[in-house]
Amino acid sequence: MLIEIMDVIISGLINGSVYALMAVGLTLIYGVSKAFNFAYGSFYSMGGYIAFLLFGVAYFKNYLVVFCLAAPVLLVFGFFIEKLLVAPLRKRDDWEIKVMMITLGLALFLDNSYQVVFGARMKSLPSILEGAFEVGDFILSYQDVVIFVLSIGGILLFRWFLNNTRTGMSVRAVAQNPAGAQIVGIPKEFVFAATFAISTVMVGMGGILLAQKYFVTPGGGWNILIKAWVITAFGGMGSIKGGLYAAFIVGMLEAFVGWQFGMNWTLIALFAVLLTTLAIRPQGLMGKWG
């Protein structure tokens, strides 16, 4: 029993850490541009497929190489998607709705493209590290440890970026006061595109990390999109700290519900918690009114 509970806690922590990495990216976009990105889940799948492609090339059969090559590809892809599809809409009336619609269209386009190019069957990625710690009956795989460490490392790197770099400072300024930021010389349009690109990298990296455990499928990103939105709304729209807490709560909840009631109940439990939270505290855990 004790071993089972420890397994559940570890599983919750690991999933929570990856969810945190991905939810922070979505929170970032919403916090800065107030736009809903429905293609976020498809960017998750893109990370997995890029890794799958790279592992198909003998020379790249190494996660370090995969991360180093996938990150700039995702960064450039996110930047240009924002510039080509999202930025032109921002000049129009009701642009928030139009951004939702165009990212929804982009998601469908990408997911169908994955199906055409890679087929409908799930793809698997090799484990990042084989083997496990074994203490009596308790087993903890090296893969889970590495996923946890890389996710937390990604979040800390992101935090360092926000607090210590010029672009990070501009992102924070635009998120808090777009008009004031422009007036002191911050190029708002560039910040929007940079934010979109950074969040694409974060969810794509999450896709590579989780694809080792849950495979890559053309429509697999929708589940992630739903979870990321639940976490973002649960934590408080635009609140990065709230998103982090919510990600670990969701990770734990999933693990315990899956253990006690079966995996089919995890999404139901997730929405039950979200609806209850929003009924009692509509701004989410750490969001603000207005």
Partner 1 sequence: MLKMTNVTKKFGELTAVNNLSFEVEQGQVFGIAGPNGAGKSTLYNLITGLYPFEGSVTFNNGEIRGLPPHQIAKLGISRTFQIPQTFPSLSVEKSIGVGSHFGSRDGFEHDYVEKILRFVNLIDKRDSSTGQLNLLDKKMLMIGAALATKPRVLMLDEPMAGSNAKEIMKLMNLVQRINREMGITIIIIEHFMKVLTELTEKLLIIETGTEVCCGNPVDVTSDPRVIECYLGGNND
Q: Which is nearer to partner 1, 131 or 185 (CB)?
A: 185
Q: Which is nearer to partner 1, 184 or 280 (CB)?
A: 184
Closest CB 94 distance from partner 1, rounded Å:
15
Closest CB 103 distance from partner 1, rounded Å:
24
For the chain, how big is the Rg over CA atoms in Å? 19
Contact 112, 218 (CB under 8 A): yes
Beta-carbon neighbour count of residue 183 at 10 Å?
9
Q: Which is nearer to partner 1, 147 or 174 (CB)?
A: 174
Closest CB 272 distance from partner 1, rounded Å:
32
Q: Which is nearer to partner 1, 1 or 184 (CB)?
A: 184
Closest CB 185 distance from partner 1, rounded Å:
3
Determine the Cα–Cα distance for residues 18 and 248; give it in Å rounded to an integer.
9
Task: For residue 12, give every residue at least 6 positions away whose Cβ sits within 8 Å of its Cβ, in sequence order, or none.
Answer: 248, 251, 252, 253, 254, 255, 256
Percent helix, strand and coil across the chain, each rounded to 5? 80, 5, 20
Determine the Cα–Cα distance for residues 258 and 3; give it in Å rounded to an integer.
16
Q: Which is nearer to partner 1, 62 or 176 (CB)?
A: 176
Exposed, middle or buried by CB within 10 Å (0-12, 13-18, 19+), for 138?
A: middle
> Does residue 139 sit in helix, strand or coil?
strand
**Dihedral pair phi/psi, residue 47, rounded to 5°:** -55, -45
Cross-strand bridge partners of residue 135: 138
Contact 12, 251 (CB under 8 A): yes
Closest CB 79 distance from partner 1, rounded Å:
18
Residues at the interface with partner 1 (CB under 8 A): 166, 169-170, 172-173, 176-177, 179-189
Q: Which is nearer to partner 1, 29 or 186 (CB)?
A: 186
Exposed, middle or buried by CB within 10 Å (0-12, 13-18, 19+), for 59?
A: exposed
Closest CB 245 distance from partner 1, rounded Å:
17
Q: Which is nearer to partner 1, 162 or 226 (CB)?
A: 162
Closest CB 28 distance from partner 1, rounded Å:
14
